[in-house]
Amino acid sequence: DQQVKQNSPSLSVQEGRISILNCDYTNSMFDYFLWYKKYPAEGPTFLISISSIKDKNEDGRFTVFLNKSAKHLSLHIVPSQPGDSAVYFCAASLLHAGNNRKLIWGLGTSLGVNP
Amino acid sequence: KAGVTQTPRYLIKTRGQQVTLSCSPISGHRSVSWYQQTPGQGLQFLFEYFSETQRNKGNFPGRFSGRQFSNSRSEMNVSTLELGDSALYLCASSTWGQVGEQYFGPGTRLTVT
């Protein structure tokens, strides 16, 4: 059962336009969400995060929106650049087995930004 | 600050053999998590160690095991390798674990023939 879903395996946008990557989750116990970017042959790198008490977090060209009622979050990249071409992973964190935390990952969306 | 390092970067093993992968976290990080990445399954969580104790475990068979040393370095072992174990194995370190930002190493590409 995939608790964190990234329904679009791939996305292609033009340089300078907005990229919107979506992520849906099923467990209302998730209280912290993160986005990671991964280039080929490298490990994922942290991009931006959001706590469930917020509905928006912005960092430069990257903004994450959280809609708790819809159990949906999205990552907006404006403007998109060719260097943004990578696989983007959505991850959600929840308390698990006492005081431990667990991160559940989506399958990723491959973003291609065309010059 | 040096990043997370993983050794070896590439490995080819035969079915039935065992393998040990190593991860050195960022200095000061006490949490090390291991993940398996395959094309169709994304990032699958294996386990997390914090201060030498396994704190979290994913849904992998007992053939997958790990440990963490007092210097926070971690090893992961896979016994009786199967073809399906071919994957990229990623290690991530962090200060507190599976709550916030994790720093990933470049991974070990394991191929089982």
Position A89 pLDDT exceeds 70: yes
Smallest Cα–Cα separation from B44: which of B90, B96, B93, B76?
Answer: B90
**Average pLDDT across chain A, whole number:** 93
Q: With an 8 Å Cβ cutoff, are A104 and B102 in contact?
A: no
pLDDT band at residue A103 under the 50/70/90 scheme:
confident
Low-confidence ranges of chain B (pLDDT < 70): 1, 98-99
The predicted pLDDT at position A96 comes to 73
Smallest Cα–Cα separation from A64: which of A102, A86, A90?
Answer: A90
pLDDT band at residue A40 under the 50/70/90 scheme:
confident
Biggest CA-to-CA distance, chain A = 49
DSSP string, B11-64: EEE-TT--EEEEEEPPTT--EEEEEEEETTTEEEEEEEEETTEEEEE-S--TTE
- Give the pLDDT confidence of A41-51 residue by residue, as tens digits: 889 999 999 99
Position A94 pLDDT exceeds 90: no
Smallest Cα–Cα separation from B74: which of B47, B101, B109, B56?
Answer: B47
- Give the pLDDT confidence of B2-17 residue by residue, as tens digits: 799 999 999 999 999 9
Dist. CA A79–CA A74, nearest whole Å: 15
Smallest Cα–Cα separation from A114: which of A40, A10, A9?
Answer: A10
- Tokens read off for B108: 């070990």
Which residues of B are less than 8 Å from A105 in CB distance? 35, 42-45
Q: With an 8 Å Cβ cutoff, are B98 and A108 in contact?
A: no
* Pick from A42, A46, A101: CB nearest B98: A101
Which residues of A are less than 8 Å from B105 in CB distance? 43
